[in-house]
Every structure is written in structure tokens, then in C-alpha cells.
Amino acid sequence: MLKLIEHPTCFPVPEGQDLVIEEYIGRINTGTGGVSIARLKSGEGWSEPAQTPEFDEYTLVLAGELYIEDIASGQTTVVKANQAIIVPKGVKIRYSTPTSGGADYIAVCIPAFDMTLANREET
């Protein structure tokens, strides 16, 4: 049976973060645990704490630039508009948009995103 997703649900983010997460498919909007698909919009100067997720994340940048720091190697990859990146589970990373004017991107997580599976460090 087909299921039309008429609108996303805004995923809660910590107060003061310049980030909007609109979940189309996932644990909150559709009760789907196997995969999540969300659109994220971050402002310039935004960053998340380091995390070691227990899910694979596939990210497509629609506009702007998304910085992804691999904590173990110290290497930062800049993903620009019309580029994508695969971040495998178990890699300690940090997402940010420090100087790019922000980013608009789609994130697909398998299994679906869950804050307890993100394993974010305390700030």
C-alpha cells in the first residue's frame, strides 16, 4: 500500500542552535525505524558536538557548504552544493557550517536517526 507523506515533522533541536530539521520519513513522522529521510537547514556558524553514530548517514547538499570533521584523522571534508558524502556508522565526526553561510541538505540514515544512536558528546 502506498503512503503519501503530506508534510514533515520538525525534529526538536537544542535551543539556540541555528538548525531546522524536517523529518519526512523516520521514527517521529512515520514511525519508521529502518530509515530516516530529513531536510536540514543550518546557519553560518552552526556546529554540533562530536558524535559516533550507530547508523550510516548519506548526505546530499542542496545549497551552501557542509563541513564534516573526521575526529580520528583530524581531516575535514567540505561538501558543496550538488555533492554528496557517505559517513559509515562508528566514525567519530562533527558537522558544522562555520563560514559557508549555512547549508541546506538532505540526510538519509540507516537505521533511522535516533538521538540515543547518535552518541553525541556532552558540550
Angle at 58 between CA 65 and CA 98, to 5 degrees: 25
pTM of the model: 0.93
* Domains of the chain, CATH where assigned: 17-118 (2.60.120.10)
Task: Give the CA radius of gyration of the chain.
Answer: 14
- Long-range contacts of the stretch 8-16 (C-beta < 8 A, 24+): 8/38, 8/39, 11/38, 11/113
Angular region, 34: left φ>0, alpha ψ -120 to 50, beta rest: alpha
- Grid-cell match 540526510, residue found: 107
* Range scoring the smallest mean pLDDT among 10-14, 102-106, 118-122: 10-14
Mean pLDDT of 61-78: 97
Residues 6+ apart with CB under 8 A from 3: 30
pLDDT for res 123: 64
Could you give the percent of the chain with pLDDT greater than 90? 89
Query: What is the distance between the alpha carbons of residues 23 and 21, in angstroms, rounded to a whole number?
Result: 6
Cα 4 to Cα 93, 109, 119, 121, 122, distances in angstroms? 33, 20, 31, 36, 37
